[in-house]
Amino acid sequence: MKSCKKMGVTISCDLNDRNKLWTKEKAGQVMAQLCQYVDVCIANEEDAADVFGIHAANTDVTRGTVSHAG
């Protein structure tokens, strides 16, 4: 990733968290290191919350809904 970044390559990363591969804590540590080189990060609300503790407002990942403020 470092070499690609130096060469100007656009780098993408999918946060698709795999609970069977590693803990949420380990995923957060590893992804935090990788994301310093990432230009485009792809994630859904659940993975953003699990990996980085980022919670989108007005969402319910268990029902798959997003509430829109009126």
Say if CB 28 and CB 34 are below 8 A apart: no
Q: Which residue has the higher pLDDT, 62 or 10?
A: 10
- pLDDT, tens only, 41-65: 998 888 888 888 888 777 776 776 6
Q: How many CB atoms lie within 10 A of CB 28?
A: 17
Q: Which residue has the higher pLDDT, 55 or 69?
A: 55
> Rounded to the nearest 5 degrees, what angle is found at the Cα of 11, between the Cα atoms of 34 and 66?
80
Domain ranges, ordered by start, for the chain: 2-66
Rg (CA), the chain: 14
Q: Output the pTM of the full model.
A: 0.67
DSSP secondary structure, 46-69, as one string:
HHHHHHH----TTEETTTTEEPPP
